[in-house]
Structure formats: structure tokens, C-alpha cells
A and B are shown apart, each in its own frame.
Chain A
Amino acid sequence: MRSKPNRTKAQSEIALGTLRPKRSSLIWYVFLAPAFLGILCFMVYPILESLRLSLFNSSGTGGTWAGLANYKTVLSSSEFWHSVYNTFYIGFFQMIITIPLGFIFASMINSVAFAKNFFKVIFFLPNVTAIVAAAMIFTFVLHPDMGILNYFLDKVGLPTPLWLSNPGTAKWAIILLGVWHWIGFVIIICLANLQAISPELYEASTIDGASGLQQWLFITIPNMMGTFAFLLITGWIGALQRFNEVYVIGGPTGSPNRSIQTVVAYIYEHGFTGFQFGIASAATYVLFVIILIFTMFNLKLTKMKL
């Protein structure tokens, strides 16, 4: 231990090119102490302990060795796979609607000649409200008989679904809420990156006689691929952890009829309403692996460098 700090001291002296009193590099660990204390207590320990719990029959204290029994229970539970299906279904449609729509809005805001900032502020507003408050408002907005959405749909002659009262349409209610809440974020990220595209590209193509639409298709969109990849990856990480709004609207079981129960809601149901810590921990590890694999898959798909 003693010789190593000396060596780094010597190195730093060489780097500085000075011959001054020796400085200790230990001080840097003091700078990092708060963060690493946190990482140890709230990251490393819980992740390992969670792995241990998943291998035990546990409801809090102690517990008996269970091997992979908890994983077997989870992986053979149709309720679990149903929650995986719900999570992916909601996430997929939220993503495929919000990213293109948000990009189109961002392009319009970026090119409109006036009130740019006004639109930026307005479109981002839903994202500022807590998703829990938004879910609370949406239980009424989406009410089949008294809700304002069905009132509008009826006015323009569209069908008026039962939304949250019907397991068949409940997921779409959550998707709608997700789109409304997330679109502002997509717009802000797209706008920031749109403004980072070099104006020279546009100038050159204008000289070549390209129309605005052609520029959008052949310059803007190819230059935004990295941004779409970023949104897809962060969007999926968030979507796979969806809980708040489905808990407020459908409770831990995701009513009606488990139609909106997400994986995290399944974990919450077993961990904190049933106190089946072993099963809940196994489910969290399965979710963890799903997130990792899916993120890797997205990184590959979008050819983004880690």
C-alpha cells in the first residue's frame, strides 16, 4: 500500500514538471467518498442481497434455501408472462406513436417563424406534471360516459371505447396517457438535436435546388438517427419499469382483470402486498435480465456504440 501512492505522486510530479512538496493522491478518495458510500449501500449490497433472497424461501427474516424454485414459480406463472406481455405491448405502442409524432412536432416548431418558444413551453407542459397526478386526471378524461375524450370522439363521429372499464381497451388508455405525458420530452430532445445539425448541409442542398420536404427527408432524418436511438433506448428502459400510472389507475393487480398489470406491478403485488420476498426477488432478477438483454438488443439494432 505504501509504495503505490508514492509512485503516483512521482508520476504526477513528472506530469506537472515541477519539483514541489509531494502531494497525496489519497485526498481524491475523500472527494469520491459520498458517491461510493451511496453506491455500496444502495447499489452493490441491495443487488447482491436481492440475488440471495431470490434463492431463498423468504418472507422477511431468515428463510430456507430454495434453489431455483422461486425462478421456476415465476417463469411458469401465466400471470407473470401476462404482465410481461402488457409491459411490452404498452411500451411498443407508446414508442411507435410518440417518437415519430414528437419528431414531426419538433420539426414544425423548429421551422415555424414565430412563437417557437411558446410552443416549446406548451408541448413540454404535460411532462412537467407528475405522472401520478396525470393518471388521476386521466381516470376522468377517459371515463366512458362523462369523460371529455369520448365527448370529443362522439362529436367528430368516432367510436367511443370503454377505455379503462374494459380489459380489451384498458391498455390503450395507458398508451394514450403515456403518449400525452412523454411527447414533450421527445420534442425537447429532438429540438435540441435538430438545432445541432450543421446549417451548411442545408445551405449546400438549397443551392442544389432541393425542396424543404426533400431536405427534411434526406438531410434531417438521417442526421437524427442517433437521437431516435437514444429515445428508443431510454424510452424502453423507462417503459419496462412502468408502474406509477398503472398502480394509480388499476392498483397492484392492474385491474380490470390484470389487463394493465406491468412487471413492476407484479413484483409489487408479490413483494409488498403478499410479502413473498423470494418470488418477488426472482421476478426482479428476471426483469433485470430482460432490461439488460433488451437494451443490448436495442443498442445493436440502432448500431449505437456503448
Chain B
Amino acid sequence: MAALTQKKAFYISNAIKFILLLVCGFLLMVPFIWMISVGFSRTANVQMPFPPKLIPKDPSWFNFNIVFENGQIFRAYINSGIITVCSVILGVTSSLLGGYAFSKGKFKGKKVMFLIVLGTLMIPMEPRLIPMYEMFNKLGMLNTFWPLFLPALVNGFGIFLCKQYFDRLPDSLRESAQMDGASELGIFFKIYFPLTGPIAATLVILTFIWSWNDFVWPLVVLNDPNLQTIPLYLASFSQENGTSLGGLTMALATVSVVPIIILYLFLQRFIIQSIALSGLKE
């Protein structure tokens, strides 16, 4: 009898939690659902559909056709893609190499240098904005992609993560290769690099998110509309039109957000793991 009520209590408490989570999860999704719905409404550009409807009165591809015909969004995707890929390659390479040196290397100044790397985590972007702008201005690199991915070389958090990862890999691998007279670079690339899959994947994901969503720095460096990244294009569109042209704005938001959401749904396990790793206390 007691077991039965316990079982009942278990089901009831689970049902309450489930329903509560379902309702709150739905509320969080409402802006996305509404975004897509309004994107399909042609009349929303003149008068937002009110009261809101899930399926618009006269669904049409009108807004999406305009967004695609204009083509700026494709260019923005390509620009964001180039910058993100270059940032990821630079950031991951420098983190793996740096983390490896701090984990396995023996050299003068190791402690101080590691402290400097950790110190970079404390330094925000804002004080560096103007000098970096001036620096790239003097180099004639404003309105190019160089200023956007070169700073990815500095990834204090990435180096920290890699060092911890390499710390867990045994030194015995190195020692036997050293016996055979392999060089340090050879040891890294032949023995340790093939083992870096999990941490490299995490770094790729974190750098991707960071670079894809980056806003202030590209805003400062790029003012050629042809070079705009996705966030820059969205921001300039939004500032130009404010709360007019609701249908077009939402179609544009849909086109820029939905591919990322689909990518996220495919990779969700890895993405969530990477984010969680960034916040796990030791």
C-alpha cells in the first residue's frame, strides 16, 4: 500500500514538472514561432497581424523572395563563414600548441608565461578597441577580414583547456619517442595531435560561436556593406527600418537564425557538452 502511494507520488510530481517545463519551454520558443509566422505574412509589412496568429491569413513567400533576391544575406553568410573558419583555424592551432608547451614543456619562464596567458582572460575588448582600430588603419587593413581573424590567435581560455587536456595524457608516450630521437615537433604532430580530437572539437565549437556572433569589433572595422557579417547586416537593417517592414524583418531574422538552429540541433550533444565544460569547476 505504501509502495503504491509512493509510486503515485512519483508519477504526479513528474507529471507536474513535465507540464511546467513544457509550458515554460513553449513560452521561450514563442518569439521564434512568431518570427517564422510573421515572416510568411505579406501584409505584416504594412500592419503587423494582430491578434497574433500561428498561420498567417494569406501565407506567402513574398518576404523571403525579397530577402533572397536582394542577395545581401548570402554575401553576409559567405563573409561570416570566411572569418569564422579562419578564426577557428588560428585559434585552435595556437591553443593546441600553447597548451601542449605548458603541459609537457620544460623551459625558462613557463610559470610567468602561463600567468600572462591567464591574465588575458581579465582584459576586456573595449580598452583595446581604439588602438587596434588605429593599428589596422595604419596597416591599410580596415575593410578587410585580416583584423577580424588575426586576434583569434589570443585564446587564453583555449590554452588553459588544452593544457588541462594534455596534463591527462601520459608522459610515457613522449619518453619512448624521445628515446627514438624524435624531435619535439615530431612528437607533437605524430603522437599527441591525433589524440586531441575531443578537445579540438570543443575548441572549434566555442571559437565558432564566439566568432560567428562577434559584433563590436566587426562594427568598428568594417563599413563596406559588401563585407558585412550576419550580425552587422541584421543590425544595419534593423536600425534602418525600426519597427516598420515587420514581415521583411522577420523573414530576414528567420533566414539568419534557422540554419544556425538546425546546425545546433544536429550537434546539440557536443555543443552543450562544450558549453558545460566551460563552466565546470574543478
Contacts and interface: CB of A to CB of B under 8 A. Distances in A.
A248 B154 contact: no
A227 B153 CA distance: 29
A139 B216 CA distance: 20
B280 A196 contact: yes
A287 B185 CA distance: 42
Interface in A252-299: 264, 267-268, 271-272, 277, 280-281, 284-285, 287-288, 291-292, 295
Interface in B223-243: 230-231, 234-235, 237-239, 242-243
A28 B260 contact: no
Contacts of A108: 17, 20-21
B170 interface: no
Contact of B276 (A16, A37, A131, A191): A191
Contacts of A285: 127
B31 A60 contact: no
B188 A132 contact: no
A193 B150 CA distance: 34
B222 interface: no
A11 interface: yes
Interface in B39-66: 47-48, 50-52
A192 B275 CA distance: 9
B193 interface: no
A129 B97 contact: no
A133 B128 contact: no
Contacts of A145: 50
Q: Is the interface of A mostly helix, strand, loop or mixed?
A: helix
A53 B261 contact: no
A36 B131 contact: no
Contacts of B268: 120-121, 124
A138 B184 CA distance: 53
Interface string A81-119: 000000000000000000000000100110111110001
Interface residues of B, number: 105
A120 B207 CA distance: 22
A163 B18 CA distance: 32
Contacts of B10: 113
Contacts of A27: 183-185
B213 interface: yes
Contacts of B35: 137
A6 B94 CA distance: 27
Interface string A132-147: 1111111111010110
Interface residues of A, number: 108
Contacts of A146: 47-48, 50, 243, 246
Given A32-B97, A188-B276, A25 B105 contact: yes
Contacts of A267: 126, 129
Contacts of B127: 46-47, 50, 281, 284-285, 287-288
Interface string B230-272: 1100110111001100100110110011001100110010011
A192 B178 CA distance: 39
Nearest to A234: B279
Contact of B257 (A120, A133, A188, A268): A133
A271 B98 CA distance: 34
A133 B253 contact: yes
A185 interface: yes
Interface in A28-45: 28-32, 34-39, 41-43, 45
Given A31-B101, A113-B14, A131-B213, A287 B25 contact: no
Interface of B: 10, 13-14, 17-18, 20-21, 24-25, 28-32, 34-35, 38, 47-48, 50-52, 90, 93-95, 97-98, 100-102, 105-108, 110, 113, 116-117, 120, 122-135, 150-155, 159, 175, 178-179, 181, 183-185, 188, 209, 212-213, 215-216, 219-220, 230-231, 234-235, 237-239, 242-243, 246, 249-250, 252-253, 256-257, 260-261, 264-265, 268, 271-272, 275-277, 279-281
8 contacts: A28-B107, A35-B117, A38-B152, A46-B131, A131-B215, A191-B276, A284-B126, A288-B127
Given A35-B98, A115-B21, A284-B129, 7 more contacts: A38-B150, A41-B150, A130-B234, A148-B52, A192-B276, A196-B280, A285-B127
The 4 closest A-B pairs by CB, nearest first: A38-B153, A192-B276, A46-B128, A146-B48
